Amino acid sequence: MIDLEQLARAQQAIVAAGDELYRAGQVPATGGNFSVRLDATHMAVTASGRHKGRLTPADVMVTDFAVTPLGSPQKPSDEARLHGQLYQDRPEAGAVLHTHSRAATVLSRLIEGDTLWLEGFELQKAIEGVASHDTALAVPIVDNDQDIAALAEVARERLRGLDTRAYLIRGHGLYTWARDMSGCLRQVEALDFLFDCELIMRRTR
Ligand SMILES: CSCCC(=O)C(=O)COP(=O)(O)O
Ligand SMILES: [Zn+2]
């Protein structure tokens, strides 16, 4: 049984996140998708194809973590499986944001390996679990795939056993998760700042 007041709060949080992220250039042209954990098996997630800067609560639907809709005729985000999988595998995840910024898109293409290493930036501490600028922050990278089930399996294997709060899909964008939506928004902002810094440093090397 879904708690309807909790669902309404989740819908509001997702609508507000879309507005903030669109204004920040993080989700152009309907890109991106967002979710909030509702209970042990369900999430509130954006419906597919919506403009993320112009969401209303009706654009946020309930599915289980296997992406079966609950009481909605709408189609969930094409990438909802990636959200559900994170809630299944990461008990610490209360909210998940997927964004398509320029920096995430370009930097993930410039790196040939499967990891972006960020080191020496004070803002690394904005990521949950990071206590010092002095530790290297690893952001796993997986190759993009239009087959979301296949992409989900590759991401699950890549993340297995890692204490991370984010990964990049090459040429596509960022997934990040946190205890709640405000932590998740902070991580999107911090990671994108760090991606920008890394791009500038690579240009000046
Ligand atoms: C035009 S963006 C292509 C699809 C995508 O990557 C995305 O993030 C949005 O898909 P959704 O089904 O969640 O709207
Ligand atoms: Zn996407």
pLDDT in tens, 14-65: 999 999 999 999 999 999 999 999 999 999 999 999 999 999 999 999 999 9
Nearest CA to ligand 1 atom 1: 31
| Percent above pLDDT 70 for the chain | 100
Residue type, 181: M
Please tell me the distance from the alpha carbon of residue 40 to that of residue 185, in angstroms, as a whole number. Answer: 22
* DSSP labels, 32-101: -EEEEE-SSSEEEEEBTT--TTS--GGGEEEEETT--BSS--SPB-TTHHHHHHHHHH-TT-SEEEEE--
The pLDDT, as a whole number, for residue 129 is 92
The pLDDT, as a whole number, for residue 133 is 84
98 marked ligand binding residue: yes
What ipTM was assigned to the predicted interfaces of this complex? 0.99
Q: Which helix (H) or strand (E) holds 198?
A: helix 181-204
Phi, psi of 162 (to 5 degrees): -95, 140
Of 191, 182, 190, 183, nearest to 128 by C-alpha is 183
CA–chain centroid gap for 171, Å, is 15
Phi, psi of 121 (to 5 degrees): -105, 125
Please tell me the distance from the alpha carbon of residue 114 to that of residue 158, in angstroms, as a whole number. Answer: 9
| Percent above pLDDT 90 for the chain | 97
What are the boundaries of each domain within the chain? 4-204
Is it the case that residue 183 has pLDDT exceeding 90? Answer: yes
The pLDDT, as a whole number, for residue 13 is 99
Tens-place pLDDT, residues 144-163: 999 999 999 999 999 999 99
Nearest CA to ligand 1 atom 8: 32
Closest atom of ligand 1 relative to the 98 alpha carbon: 8
The pLDDT, as a whole number, for residue 71 is 92
Q: Which residue has the tokens 């964004």?
A: 99
For a ligand 1 pocket test, name from 34, 78, 97, 101 the mutation site with the most ligand atoms within 8 angstroms of its C-beta: 78
Which of 3.30.565.10, 3.90.110.10, 1.10.3720.10, 3.40.225.10 is the CATH number of 4-204? 3.40.225.10
Nearest CA to ligand 1 atom 2: 31
Q: Beta strands 33-37 and 173-178: pairing type? A: unpaired
Average pLDDT of span 178-191: 98
Q: Which residue has the tokens 């590759």?
A: 154
For a ligand 1 pocket test, name from 33, 51, 146 the mutation site with the most ligand atoms within 8 angstroms of its C-beta: 33
**Length of the chain in terms of residues written:** 205
Average pLDDT of span 74-94: 98
Please tell me the distance from the alpha carbon of residue 81 to that of residue 199, in angstroms, as a whole number. Answer: 30
Confidence grade of residue 205 (pLDDT, cut at 50, 70, 90): confident
The least confident of 84-93, 119-128, 130-139 is 130-139
DSSP 31: -
The pLDDT, as a whole number, for residue 145 is 98
Average pLDDT of span 158-183: 98
Confidence grade of residue 12 (pLDDT, cut at 50, 70, 90): very high
Phi, psi of 174 (to 5 degrees): -110, 140
Q: Which residues line ligand 1 (CB under 6 A)?
A: 29-33, 46, 48-49, 77-79, 98
Nearest CA to ligand 1 atom 9: 31
Tens-place pLDDT, residues 111-133: 999 999 999 999 999 999 998 88
